[in-house]
Amino acid sequence: MIGKLYRLEMKETWRVAKVIYPLMIFATAAAVLLSLLNNAALTGISVFVSILALVVGSIIVTVQTVTNDYHNFQGKRGYLYRAIPAKSSDFLLSRLGYYLTYFVVTLVIFALLLMTILNSIMDIGVFSVVGNFLSQVLFANSWGILFSVYVLISIVISIFTFIFAITVGSEAKLHRLGAGGPVLVYFIYYLVGQVLGLLSALFIPLGVRMTVDPFSSAILNFELVNEGMFRSLLDSMGPNPDPNTAVIGLGVIFSQLLLTIVIAILTYRSFDKKFSLRA
């Protein structure tokens, strides 16, 4: 059932993506071919237009992904999905897979095409530079791997916020607002997340202390510490601040995970009331 729901979700957005993706590739190919003419003005214009096309195309696919999800579950096609005898977990997992597919594919296509454009106009091999960065810096140590995992988790959390906003924002008490309901819910979530993130970064005793060379701006020391940003913030406003040392609070990770658990529960409960037939 998850596969069937996933294919239904993919169908509407693919009608747009199958046009936008080839146009992005065509714009990139045109810029690369025009750069071979070695005309500075023509190359500059073509590169600008192609990068603009990549940005606009990616935005269109991303917006269409969210818009079609809204119409599938709360808008003009909602009646179809309400008739499908599936569990709430099936609906939610299919929606998560749908978002992940288009977000990740769009991001990968955008990155590869942008690197192709830059590679055609720069003297250095952009693909080699990126490959060396990934293999020798990002994935060469535990910090880089942890950062990569955090980015992936952040993407999943961001997707869940869209699902949460659309589902809860279309409940009966907000239904009269139409698409404004999900927008309002997302805005409230954003404000709550920012406040909790700031408080957790300041007061949860977990952070990273960095010491920077005042002459070269190179990072001399990078270590985990059992403190938040509050003390470092007070010291920076004191009479003898140390501009070369700072603490970055990591407590925001815990508040973000806690908030994600809360919105996941609220989304499931709201969805279960309106859609699930407990098949």
Dump pLDDT digits (tens) for 49-85: 999 999 999 999 999 988 888 877 766 666 666 666 6
The values of phi and psi at residue 218, to 5°, are -80, 145
* Alpha-carbon span 134 to 120, nearest angstrom: 21
pLDDT of residue 82: 63
Q: Compare 135 and 118 and report the one with higher pLDDT.
A: 118
- Position 276 pLDDT exceeds 60: no
- Position 7 pLDDT exceeds 70: yes
Task: Give the CA dihedral 174, 179, 185, 187, nearest 10 degrees.
Answer: -140
pLDDT digits (tens, 9 = 90+) for 145-184: 777 787 888 888 888 888 888 877 776 676 667 667 788 8
User: Among 102-111, 142-151, 152-161, 205-214, which range has the highest average pLDDT?
Assistant: 102-111
Residue whose C-alpha is closest to residue 265's, from 145, 160, 124, 133: 160
In the numeric block, the tokens 């701006």 are attached to 217
What average pLDDT does the segment 93-114 reach?
89
pLDDT of residue 166: 80
In 177-257, the DSSP E strands lie at 207-212, 219-225, 245-249
- 277 pLDDT band, cuts 50/70/90, is very low
* Alpha-carbon span 109 to 74, nearest angstrom: 30
